[in-house]
């Protein structure tokens, strides 16, 4: 069984100032997604599904055809690609929302766009985050081992110290787990940054500034699911829209859906850890550092150059 990689690429990159997903950052113009797909293929994934917006879908399709048409999986078969579109009006039949609302419903809504395409265990990642080779190997092994399970998912957590930006405070979900390493809670913290004293601080869900453990595991939106996730998530989404139909900005995030499943005991999520260092382009100021990092990878032979 070859798992599928679901890439969340519909975000518009408002803080960054453009479509981060298409920004060439590698020595030969490679995007962060290019590196993620390279690592995923090496880890044994067999298909990539992009979640995009309708207005830039043609660009993405052309880009994929140009870059990946000759990419082979580890067993020698061609890597498969599909596209799913996330738009505001793509909601369950009979549901209504505020006509003034403009943006789609968030990451868990984005994942639901693939429910008619994905029939095998799959990983979910952000298109603008670099997760590292080890992370893809870890989640691929987990997905292969849980091909026939239901109600049992996973999340790859990164040490908080490995996820910070030098360009400003970031938002991270800090994970709590039980003795069996199953997720019990993800608490969103904002404005997380390392202070001059070397300690990490952030604002908790109550808006209080608190010191955080740099070794705590943070969610970077790298999840592993089996196909039964779609049905469970859609039921929660229906309830979410009922409660938020008049809201203009309420978003249906993956951690929210997972938290609902934890509370009603419909699913468990295993918290895995990775030694990889995350990096990405949260802010425009992050770009030179990311470019330098990919150049370093090429110079050290960690990745081929060009990548494809």
pLDDT digits (tens, 9 = 90+) for 91-139: 887 878 878 888 888 899 999 999 999 999 999 999 889 999 999 999 9
Please work out, in degrees rounded to the nearest 5, the angle formed at the alpha carbon of residue 8 by the alpha carbons of 106 and 38: 165
How much is the pLDDT for 42? 97
In this model, does residue 251 exceed pLDDT 80?
yes
Q: What is the pLDDT of residues 202-228, one digit of tens each?
A: 999 888 999 999 999 999 999 999 999
Q: What is the pLDDT of residue 116?
A: 94
Whether 229 contacts 153, CB under 8 Å? yes
State the CB neighbour count (10 A cutoff) for residue 118: 22
Instruction: Please give the Cα distance from 101 to 11 (Å, whole number).
Output: 16
Rg of the chain in Å (alpha carbons): 19
Burial (CB < 10 A; 0-12, 13-18, 19+), residue 130, is buried
Decide if pLDDT at 255 tops 50: yes
- Average pLDDT in the 144-148 region? 95
Structural domains of the chain, ranges and CATH numbers in brackets: 4-299 (3.90.550.10)
Residue 93, pLDDT score: 79
Which tokens belong to 150? 């239901």
- The secondary element (H helix, E strand) that includes residue 135 is helix 133-145
pLDDT per residue over 1-26, tens digit each?
999 999 998 874 444 344 555 678 99
CA pair distance 47, 19, nearest whole angstrom: 23
The answer to whether 167 and 280 are in contact (CB under 8 A) is: no
Type and span of the H or E element at 192: strand 183-194
The DSSP annotation for 214-259 comes to TTSEEEEEEEEE-THHHHHHHHHHHHHHHHHTT-SS----HHHHHH
Q: Report the b/e string of 161-189 with b at 16+ CB within 10 A.
A: ebbbbebebbebbbbebeeeeebeebebb
- Look over the chain and give the mean of its residue pLDDT values, rounded to a whole number: 90
Cβ atoms < 10 Å from Cβ of 122:
25
**Residue 302, token pair as written in the block:** 């960690």
Residue 286 pLDDT greater than 70, yes or no: yes
Ramachandran sector of residue 131 (left: φ over 0; alpha: ψ -120 to 50; beta: rest):
alpha
Locate 217 and state its tokens. Answer: 């595991």
**Rounded distance, CA 91 to CA 249, Å?**
16
CA–CA separation, 293 vs 272, rounded Å? 25
How far is 217 from 214, CA to CA, in rounded Å? 8
What was the pLDDT predicted at 21? 55
Across-strand partners of 51? 8, 84
Contact criterion met (CB below 8 Å) for 78 and 226:
no
Query: Is residue 221 packed enough to be buried (19+ CB in 10 Å), middle (13-18) or exposed (0-12)?
Result: middle
CA distance 65 to 103: 28
Structure tokens belonging to residue 273: 């850890």
Distance, CA of 127 to chain centre:
7
Range picked from 165-169, 224-228, 241-245 for highest mean pLDDT: 224-228
């Amino acid at each position: 069984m070859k798992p599928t990689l679901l890439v969340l690429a519909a975000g518009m990159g408002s803080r960054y100032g453009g479509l981060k997903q298409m920004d060439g950052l590698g020595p030969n113009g490679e995007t962060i997604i290019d590196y993620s797909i390279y690592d995923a293929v090496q880890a044994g994934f067999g298909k990539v599904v992009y979640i995009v917006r309708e207005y830039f879908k043609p660009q993405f399709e052309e880009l994929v055809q140009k870059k990946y048409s000759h990419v082979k999986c580890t067993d020698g078969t061609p890597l498969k690609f599909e596209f799913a579109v996330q738009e505001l009006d793509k909601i369950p039949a009979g549901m209504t929302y505020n006509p003034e609302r403009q943006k789609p419903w968030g990451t868990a809504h984005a994942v639901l766009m693939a429910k008619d395409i994905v029939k095998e265990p799959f990983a979910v990642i952000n298109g603008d985050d670099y997760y590292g080779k080890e992370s893809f190997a870890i989640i691929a092994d987990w997905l292969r081992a849980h091909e026939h399970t239901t109600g049992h998912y996973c999340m790859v957590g990164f040490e908080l110290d490995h996820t910070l930006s030098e360009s400003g405070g970031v938002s991270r979900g800090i994970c709590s787990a039980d003795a069996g390493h199953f997720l019990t809670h993800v608490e969103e913290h904002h404005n997380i940054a390392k202070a001059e004293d070397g300690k990490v601080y952030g604002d908790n869900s109550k808006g209080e500034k608190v010191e955080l453990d740099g070794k705590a595991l943070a969610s970077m939106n790298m999840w592993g699911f089996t196909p039964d996730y779609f049905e469970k998530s859609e039921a929660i989404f229906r309830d979410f829209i009922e409660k938020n139909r008049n809201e203009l900005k309420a978003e249906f995030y993956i951690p929210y859906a997972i938290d609902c499943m934890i509370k009603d005991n419909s699913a468990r999520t295993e918290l895995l850890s990775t030694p990889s260092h995350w990096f990405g382009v949260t802010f425009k100021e992050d770009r030179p550092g990311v470019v330098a990092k990919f150049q370093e990878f090429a110079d050290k032979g960690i990745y081929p150059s060009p990548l494809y």
